[in-house]
Amino acid sequence: MAEKNGFGQLVGQVGGRSVWQVLVLYMGASWGVLEVVDVLKDNMGLPDWVFPFAVVLLLIGLPIMLGTAVIQARFAARAGGAAEPATSGDPLPASASAADEQVGDLAAHHFFTWRRALLGGAAAFVLLTVVTTGFMFMRNRGIGPVGSLVAKGLIDERSELLVADFEAEDDMLGRMAAEALRVDLSQSDIVRLVSPRTVEGALTRMQLPQGARLDEETAREIAEREGLSAVVGGEILSAGGSHVITAHLVTPAGDLLANARTTAADSSRIIGAIDEISRDLREQIGESYTSMRKSPALAQVSTSSLEALRKYTEAGVQRDEGNLDGAIALLEQAIEVDSTFAMAYRGLGIFLQNKFEDWSRQYWAYSKAYQYRDRLTEREKWAVAATYHLVVEDDPAAGIVAYENLFQIDPEAASAVNNIGVVYYFQRNWEKALEYYSRAHDMQPRGLTAANVGVVHANLGNLDEAAVWLDSARVLEPNAPDWLSWQVAFEQLRGDPAGARRLNTELRQSESADLYWETWTHTADWLLDAREGKVASGDAALAAAIDAAERRDSPAALDVNVLRALLDLSLGNPEGAVRRIETALERYPLDSIAPLDRPTAGLVSVLAGAGAVDEAREILATQRAELGPLADRARLGFESADASIAVAEGRYVDALPALRDADWGYGCQPCADHAVGRAFDLSGQPDSAAVYYEKYLTPAFNFRMWVDGVWNGWTMERLGQLYDEMGDLEQAAGYYGLFAELWADADPELQPRVRAARARMEEIARERG
């Protein structure tokens, strides 16, 4: 009886077709099946072996299908009818040999039927389904050898892992392999990597040098101390040009959790081999296959060049040892090897930014990193985008959006939260900055976040809390010179110049102090002396700062001369200020300094304040022409430079808005207040001038050392004079007294001003009885 069901109809449609027709049908059906399997694999997060498993089954089925087609066609030709006829209708054989042949054909005909072939194919894919389902069930439930570590409860999801340097004959090769593995593991959504700052703090507490080789034993001790879940260690064995690479995941106690092994035929294949190792470990830990497939290959998010990766790794070692100049040089070499190495460009920008100089190269490095951001992990892409928007495009709103996107990808990215705080800090929004800095520190306590919280507390006037936080930063990262420099400024803020000098000397003598910090500390000595009227001793420190800057070929040498010229202005020597600037420009011509690194705003401020308005206007116009659209960047301070010229020309109303809102660097509110007060003073409005001069003296701004060194004493003296002129003798006497106390040990040539202030203060006291 004819089969009426769908399967019977399918058998009927296939039966009777030629071998070539069956081949075409089978290839088409196989393509469709593989497409379905591929879609299911990706959408359902199935393992990679599902697809090749399906290919193997289809390859096994191909000869079966073709054999069935041949046998059925051959039998049909002999029978002269359709394939698979009823046995009762078989013709009789003409001879014994023919009979034997026909019996064989008949047996094959009855065994290789289309029903069996199609049912066998269906059964094969049922087997694939059962095997895959069983595998996923066991993996997700932690059953047997395929069970993931997370499912077995051996590691918690989002646990922190510490990657140790690999063991290798070449130590740098071992460090490089570990660095590459960190990059790839950073793409995982099931584990997190311990931050470098955490490792640095742990090494310090263990009394080990920064930059020391992080072998597995040390890494396990750090994991034990910091409460980490596991350590990744590894080994590279080289023989005959090939490299056998092994990696393993162990508990802090040394219990083996997972291992992986692969071979690189030569050194050019090491990066690809590390990629394989990483994915094997991620699979064993329990990361979803969908997540792993979304992760680009290691070579795509780092570099395909082993030499470039080696330079990048060496740069990290130099940074850990406090040698930023050496780290920068190595990153530049890495970029020469691989001009598309986005991570190296980003690292270069960060290192330069940490030195607060060389803005031209910062712009270039961040722009290049942004150009090649497709060669970064998803997390790094948003980090690069944020920095690009903030530094290059001067677009804080876009920078915050980028950091928020990064935070959505990685909700534990404390750096993104901290950097949003940085944006608010430079907008002088101390409350919002404190909110984000505190959140970042709660997420991941670091010296950086503690120092940031401390500085904002200082800016808000919470000096006791600021002191606790700044001390905490040094405990967390005792070898970081940045936090010590911030504490130098803080000690001056809270009225302890002796403490500031002591910490400044400690910083200059520390192992982390390079020529940059030598320049900084000598400049700080000058500022501390200049604030107290000790110009001669301050100038000796200033000469040392200039010498250090020249030895490192830094434009900071011109910056320091500009600061000294501002002091000439405050001391009432405008001619000396102009001469100093002219001499400095002869020694450090502006065309020898990249346009973005020139202290244009400072030069214009000094020259305009000294009456050399034409020279100031010429410098500003030249800068604007050279920079083009970049001239609008707030960080360059051209807005305040325009205002300085307006004040010098008597256009005070035009100058005031810019003076209030300009970017004065470091979020310096006292800088803005003093500039506004000076404009009111010159315009003949003593009451408004006094208000802003007092606002300048009042706010507890952590970095006010940089403006106080020039204007603190002058402002106290001027406030005494203004209140004296306005008839407020009590206020006048108070400010004369503050000035005389501050400059009590000033240089002999400045003592007449001190004596005059004391004399007037005593006269007021007598007048008031």
Q: How does DSSP assign 454-523, residue by residue?
A: HHHHHHTT-HHHHHHHHHHHHHHSTT-HHHHHHHHHHHHHTT-HHHHHHHHHHHHTSTT--HHHHHHHHH
Q: How many structural domains is the chain composed of?
A: 5
Q: Find tokens 């890495």 and name the residue.
A: 334
């830990």: which residue's tokens?
285
Dist. CA 600–CA 636, nearest whole Å: 8
CB atoms under 10 Å from CB of 14, counted, come to 21
Give the separation between CA 470 and CA 544, rounded to whole angstroms.
28
Residues 158 and 294 in one domain: yes
Distances (CA, A) of 641 to 165, 620, 627, 653, 662: 51, 8, 15, 15, 9
d(CA 536, CA 553) in angstroms, rounded, equals 26
Helix (H) or strand (E) holding 261: strand 256-264
In a domain, 68, yes or no: yes
In the chain, which residues have pLDDT < 50? Answer: 1-3, 81-90, 92, 94-96, 98-100, 103
The answer to whether residues 297 and 168 touch, using CB atoms and an 8 Å cutoff, is no
For residue 736, being part of any structural domain is answered with yes
Final residue belonging to a domain, choices 301, 335, 361:
301
Q: Which of 157, 73, 170, 80 is nearest to 112 (CA)?
A: 73
Q: What pLDDT is stored for residue 89 in this prediction?
A: 44
Phi, psi of 753, deg, nearest 5: -70, -35
Give every CB contact of residue 665 below 8 A, 6+ residues apart in sequence: 635, 637, 671
Alpha carbon distance, N-terminus to C-terminus of the chain = 133
Bridge partners, residue 161, by sequence: 193, 230
Shared domain for 64 and 161, answered yes or no, is no
Which of 74, 109, 141 finishes a domain?
141
For position 348, which CATH number holds? 1.25.40.10
42-60 b/e (C-beta count within 10 Å ≥ 16 → b): eeeebbeebbebbeebbee
Give the relative orientation of helices 729-742 and 705-725 as an angle to the nearest 10 degrees: 150
Residue 201 half-sphere exposure toward CB, CA atoms < 13 A: 19
| Residues 182 and 136 reside in one and the same domain | no
Indicate the DSSP class of residue 259.
E
Residue 353, both tokens: 């930014």
Pair 175, 273 in one domain: yes
Residue 128's pLDDT is: 83
CA distance 643 to 676: 10
Asked whether residue 185 falls in the same domain as residue 82, the answer is no
Query: What CA–CA distance (Å, rounded) separates 550 from 556?
Result: 8
Both 237 and 315 in one domain: the answer is no
Q: Please, are residues 718 and 686 in contact by the beta-carbon 8 Å criterion? A: no
Q: Which of 335, 346, 356, 398 is nearest to 376 (CA)?
A: 346
296 and 158 in one domain? Answer: yes
**Distance of alpha carbon 682 from alpha carbon 702, whole angstroms:** 28
Residues 81/83/89/90 CA torsion (nearest 10 deg)? 100
Same domain, 290 and 163: yes
CB 256 within 8 A of CB 277: no
Give the CB-side neighbour count of residue 592, counting CA atoms within 13 A. 12
On the CB side of 535, CA atoms within 13 Å amount to: 16
> In angstroms, rounded to a whole number, what is the distance separating the alpha carbons of residues 301 and 183?
8
Structural domain contains residue 347: yes
* Residue 451 belongs to some domain of the structure: no
Range of the domain at 183: 153-301
d(CA 383, CA 402) in angstroms, rounded, equals 7
Asked whether residue 259 is assigned to any structural domain, the reply reads yes
Q: Check whether residue 22 and residue 136 sit in a common domain.
A: yes
Asked if residue 280 belongs to a domain, the reply is yes
What length is written for the chain?
769
Burial label for 100, CB within 10 Å (0-12, 13-18, 19+), is: exposed
| Local structure of 596: helix, strand or coil | helix
Does 632 share its domain with 697? Answer: no
Helix axes 342-354, 359-371, angle to 10 degrees: 150
Query: Would residue 545 be called left, alpha or beta, if left means φ above 0 and alpha means ψ between -120 and 50 degrees?
Result: alpha
Vertex 745: Cα angle to 743 and 747 (nearest 5): 90
Q: Of 70, 36, 230, 30, which is closest to residue 150 (Cα–Cα)?
A: 230
Statement to judge: residues 128 and 173 lie in one domain = no
- pLDDT at residue 108 in the model: 55
* Cα dist from 186 to 162, 378, 663, whole Å: 11, 10, 36
- Rounded Cα distance between 631 and 595, Å, is 10
For 468, list phi and psi in degrees, rounded to 5: -65, -45
Supply the pLDDT for residue 537.
Answer: 93
Cβ pair 479, 511 in contact under 8 A: yes
Asked if residue 285 and residue 192 are part of one domain, the reply reads yes
> Which residue matches tokens 């995941």?
249
**CB neighbours of 676 closer than 8 A, spacing ≥ 6?**
656, 659, 660, 692
**Residue 478 C-beta-side C-alpha neighbours within 13 Å:** 10
What is the pLDDT, as a whole number, of residue 214? 87
Residue 440 lies inside a defined structural domain of this protein: no
Distance between CA atoms of 186 and 191, rounded to whole angstroms? Answer: 8
**How far lies 45's CA from each of 48, 104, 159, 292, 294, in Å?**
9, 48, 22, 9, 11
Q: Is residue 263, in this structure, part of any structural domain at all?
A: yes
Last residue of a domain, one of 239, 273, 301: 301
Residues 296, 585: Cα–Cα separation, whole Å: 51
Angle between helices 613-627 and 600-609 (to 10 degrees): 160
**What is the CATH number for 253?**
3.40.50.10070
State the CB neighbour count (10 A cutoff) for residue 765: 12
CA distances from 750 to 476, 532, 535, 577, 757 (A): 44, 11, 9, 17, 11
Beta strand pairing call for 230-239 and 191-193:
unpaired
